[in-house]
Amino acid sequence: MALSKFDIFSRTKSNVAWTLSVSFAAFIIFLLLLVTGYLLVLGAGSLSLEFFTEIPSGNVVATRDAAGKVIEGIGGMKQALIGTIILIGMASVVGVPLGMLAGIYLSEYEAGGWLATPLRFICDVLAGVPSIVVGILGYELLVRPVWMGTNNAWAGAAALAFIMVPIIARTTEEMLRLVPNSFREAAIGLGATKAQTIRQVVLPAATGSLVTGVMLAIARVAGETAPLLFTALNSKYTPISLDASFPFVHVATNNAFPSLTVQIFNYATSPYVEQNKQAWAGIIVLIALIFVLNLAIRFAASRSVGKTRTS
């Protein structure tokens, strides 16, 4: 059968659309591979065992013997890696529940109430505040008045939590809105209270997407440098120590606190080549850390959903 002009035209359009979308998808994959490959080329060389087991040695240049073998290197980023994990943990302990409660309020309690509209607006504004502003506020409102100018982990974690709360609140709200209303009606029709409905039906139904929202927020703050520059700053000492005295694990939270991002920032802007290289290695580790965290949380959530009982 002969094709009409219109048929040929619409087929051509369809082919063009297909070609465009496939080529842009391929371009994005290419970009991702480019970035990853570039990082690996620049950083993998410095990604030694030493990187994970040593703190910065104090040398800015490795000392070598006559044969060029390294006698003493510039050390690693062990302290920064541990510090980042602790900071993320501290920020999440505060930020995740606060953000989720705000999101639950927005979606389940006051969808159109007098408090909801301003709260939603404030969340959107806060989510867009440049992180350097959060850092400076952390310094002016916490570090200077409360800790007399001493940089510390609490202020760093507070700054990160401040960034997390609005993101988590808004994603939680959006995700809970996706839960069909008929679930709520079914539970309420059986005599569930509002709180029971939320806890036993709405939240379990949204677990997967809530985890994604939390992950996004964690990934976002894990990569933050600016808020930490003024609050936790950085340190070359391991912030955690184990001994026999209660509570056995001691975290030095009241002093300048190490983090990967600030360490990377310092090394990347340093004039010494070996430190520059280690900054690249630090970036690889940071990305890997976020990736592993992501997988771990997803795994934990999928298991808990499998076990979820509505009681």
Q: Which is nearer to other proteins, 4 or 311 (CB)?
A: 311
**Neighbour-count burial of 118, counting CB atoms closer than 10 A to its CB (0-12 exposed, 13-18 middle, 19+ buried):** exposed
Question: Residue 186 CB, nearest distance to other proteins (Å)?
Answer: 5
Helix (H) or strand (E) holding 90: helix 78-104
Q: Does 39 bind other proteins (CB under 8 A)?
A: no
Spatial contact of 71 and 65, defined as CB atoms under 8 Å apart: yes
Query: With respect to other proteins, which residue has the nearer C-beta, 7 or 185?
Result: 185
H or E segment to which residue 96 belongs: helix 78-104
Q: Which uninterrupted H or E stretch holds 210?
A: helix 203-222
The dihedral region occupied by 258, where left means phi > 0, alpha psi between -120 and 50, and beta the remainder, is: beta
Least gap, CB of 112 to other proteins (angstroms): 7
Interacting positions 58-97 with other proteins (CB under 8 A): none
Options 5, 69, 242, 309; binder of other proteins; rule CB under 8 A: 309
C-beta neighbour count of 46 within 10 angstroms: 23
If the CB atoms of residues 58 and 112 are measured against other proteins, the closer one turns out to be 112
Give the whole-angstrom CA distance, residue 76 versus residue 94: 30
Binders in 6-35 for other proteins, by CB under 8 A: none
Task: Specify the amino acid at residue 38.
Answer: Y
Stretch 110-139: interaction string toward other proteins, x if CB under 8 A: --x---------------------------
Closest CA to 77 of 98, 46, 53: 53
Q: How far is the CB of 113 from other proteins (least distance, A)?
A: 9
| Residue 249 DSSP SS3 | strand
Site for other proteins in 144-173 (CB under 8 A): none
Write out the H or E segment, with its range, that includes residue 63: strand 63-64
C-alpha to C-alpha distance for 171 and 200, rounded to whole angstroms: 20
End-to-end alpha carbon distance in the chain = 64
Which one of residues 12, 23, 241, 310 is an interface residue with other proteins (CB under 8 A)?
310
> CA–CA separation, 158 vs 134, rounded Å?
10
In the complex, the smallest distance separating the C-beta of residue 213 from other proteins, rounded to whole angstroms, is 18
CB of 261 to other proteins, least distance (A): 38
Question: What's the min distance (Å) between Cβ of 116 and other proteins?
Answer: 12
Nearest approach in angstroms of CB 210 to other proteins is: 13
Residues 175-204: x where in contact with other proteins by CB under 8 A, - otherwise, as a string: -----x-xx-xxxxxxxxx--x---xx--x
* CB closer to other proteins out of 127 and 205: 205
Least gap, CB of 180 to other proteins (angstroms): 7
The residue (of 90 and 179) whose beta carbon lies closer to other proteins is 179
Return the SS3 of 8: helix
Site for other proteins in 246-305 (CB under 8 A): none
User: CB of 217 within 8 A of CB of 170?
Assistant: no
Which lies closer to other proteins via its Cβ, residue 113 or residue 130? 113
Residues at the contact surface with other proteins, assessed by CB under 8 A:
112, 180, 182-183, 185-193, 196, 200-201, 204-205, 308-311
